[in-house]
Amino acid sequence: MPNDKIKHGRSKHISNYGGVGSIIETTDNSIIIETFDNWGYSDLNEKLAHYIIKDDRLLQRLKKRFPNLKHLVAIPTDRDSFLHQVRPKANYFPKWFYCTHCNRFASYFEWKNRWRSSGKNLDFFNPPKCANRDCKENHLEQIRFVLTCSNGHIHDLPWEYWNNRLPSDKSNVEETEDEEKNEKQSGPQLDYSKKCCDQQDLIYKISRENTELSGIWIECKNCKKKANLKGIFNFEKKCDGKKYWLGQLNGKFHEEECGISMSPSISVKVKTSNSVYYANTLSSLFIPEMQNPLSSEVRIDIDNMVESAQFTNEQIIQLVSIQKKIDKELIQQYLESGDIQYIPDNVYRQAEYDYFLEKEQPDNKQIKFRVIDCTDQINGFSKLVKIDKLKKTTVQTSFTRNEPIDIDSILQDQSEYEYTVQRQSVSKNNFDSKTLPALESYGEGILFVLDKNKLEQWEKQQVVIERTDKIKNNAKNADSKSHQIIAKTLTPRKVLIHTLSHLLMRELEYVCGYPTSSLSERLFVSDTMHGFLISAFDGTDGYLGGLSNLCNDLDNLRKIIESAIFRATDCSSDPICIESEGQGVGQLNLAACHSCTLTPETTCELSNLYLDRSLVINNDFGYFRTMIE
């Protein structure tokens, strides 16, 4: 298995599309990232302090779903792999490979046994190669289809039975036009009672003339039984409950009882499809006032004393305060779990919003900011917060397959959870884990705050409310449950601020040279919040100090904002785009498309949805209509 080194950026291990349980394409083959329990943290003991990320505010929020959570631990670097033997682990997935030279088709373990039987050294097997002498150690190609279920499981299709069909199977029968119109095509019906023959030897053949799925055949060289892949996306099978991301135990991969057998709850997908994996991540901006200053080493010492069960809390407080010369109140604060309750995302962000607008620059070196009043200089905005140094912590809690969930559902109790797709924990210990993987990033940004009085007058307009209601109605009819739930809280204010954030990120690329993919947004929208943060973090092209320094020249920043607004008045897809009644996924955008408003999905919090530039630039009801005039 490719466990020695995963050539993949640290930030990709915790992102919207990557993390524990995700399939990642490498230069060799695709792999599935294993649970971080297998990465080596459990063997570190005192050395774990090197990896601890301290954000007590985020830790307290996570304890609602993870009551035993003690630490957030950082994704290891290559240097960590060498010094402490801590590294991300993975295994090849899908498990079936074929040779492009001899066409032989078999599972990873069978290929490995053939390599061993031929007398070759297993150290040179990975990436998987064909042991056939004529193939000259040809690198194997991986099958590109997988089965996923709404409970979060993933597994290979039963390829060993693929060419053994039941008499009722009609997937390879040519259908008439009337049947194609009136009936959904049935998927392959397999006979699981036995393989095609006792000496099965499969080959994977791809037609050079037929580019459709019917041009791909799986055939047994021994009995000549064969079947193509036509109808594969309609294939149905009871879920085996496989958990390949948990690794092997006694030579077998983990599995659990599932029972799902009907589509769309279980479905065949191409392994690179976005719907194969959705990471459930939470991010937090560092607020010094809400942190316990205890060092990582002291925290681990206290944890070890608690786990030993040899000391009472009073004894621990007394001993540590004497040995480490630390204030007893800090130790007591760390030992007490406090009031653990569910915190909605808007409430959590309110603390960040209030901190940046109401507090002064702290002594803490991890954050640096300054509030600027821009009411008279920049139309439509009341304040800017120039953030020269910003710390963000991102943690992955779980993941889903087939469908994403909204951010407020990530930590909800199961009794309040509204989705049919189930959350799979990133730990073997499920939601009893004591650690979670996290990523700590430093960067810069600008917090834009809109003029409250102007905004409140603007959002009362009937035409503005009606346009927002169009998006909400489209969301109610959408297939995705997450769209329906997000739409419940959708307001004109949110659509305006989200759209404005996108327009400014696009303009920064045109005017300042920042690639849009290096920027990210964070929306602060509620009855008491009306702003958005555009930031750039280390590891991107934007973290050079130039973003926050735009606040040093308000006249120049005003021109950039005006340029963004004027550029939004002209789209190459107009008048189709500006007059749209719904476009994009689920028809959840109005006047917004790739030519004028959309940004790379890694920069957007809402998957490039709930956008409408008409609310910004329309001559009759746009928020910036006076600027356009």
**Domain map (residue ranges) of the chain:** 451-628
CA-to-CA distance for 313 and 317, rounded, in angstroms?
Answer: 6
Q: How confident is the model at residue 167 (pLDDT cuts 50, 70, 90)?
A: confident
Higher per-residue confidence, 496 vs 314: 496
Is 48 a residue whose pLDDT tops 80? no
Q: How confident is the model at residue 292 (pLDDT cuts 50, 70, 90)?
A: confident
Average pLDDT over every residue of 488-495? 94
Is 411 a residue whose pLDDT tops 60? yes
Question: By C-alpha distance, which of 396, 434, 398 is closest to 42?
Answer: 434
Mean pLDDT for all residues in the chain: 87
pLDDT at site 543: 59
At a CB cut-off of 8 Å and minimum separation 6, what does 409 contact? 417, 418, 419, 482, 485
Average pLDDT over every residue of 351-374? 89
pLDDT at site 414: 86
Average pLDDT over every residue of 192-216? 90
Angle between helices 462-476 and 492-512 (to 10 degrees): 90
Average pLDDT over every residue of 35-39? 86
At a CB cut-off of 8 Å and minimum separation 6, what does 336 contact? none
Q: How confident is the model at residue 179 (pLDDT cuts 50, 70, 90)?
A: very low
pLDDT digits (tens, 9 = 90+) for 390-403: 999 999 999 999 99
pLDDT at site 80: 64
The structure's pTM equals 0.88
Average pLDDT over every residue of 430-442? 88
Cis peptide bond N-terminal to 127, omega within 30 = yes
Is 357 a residue whose pLDDT tops 90? yes
> In percent, how much of the chain has pLDDT > 90?
50
Cα–Cα–Cα angle for 482, 490, 531, rounded to 5 degrees: 115
pLDDT at site 27: 84
Average pLDDT over every residue of 141-150? 93
pLDDT digits (tens, 9 = 90+) for 111-137: 999 999 998 998 899 899 999 989 999
CA-to-CA distance for 97 and 242, rounded, in angstroms?
Answer: 19
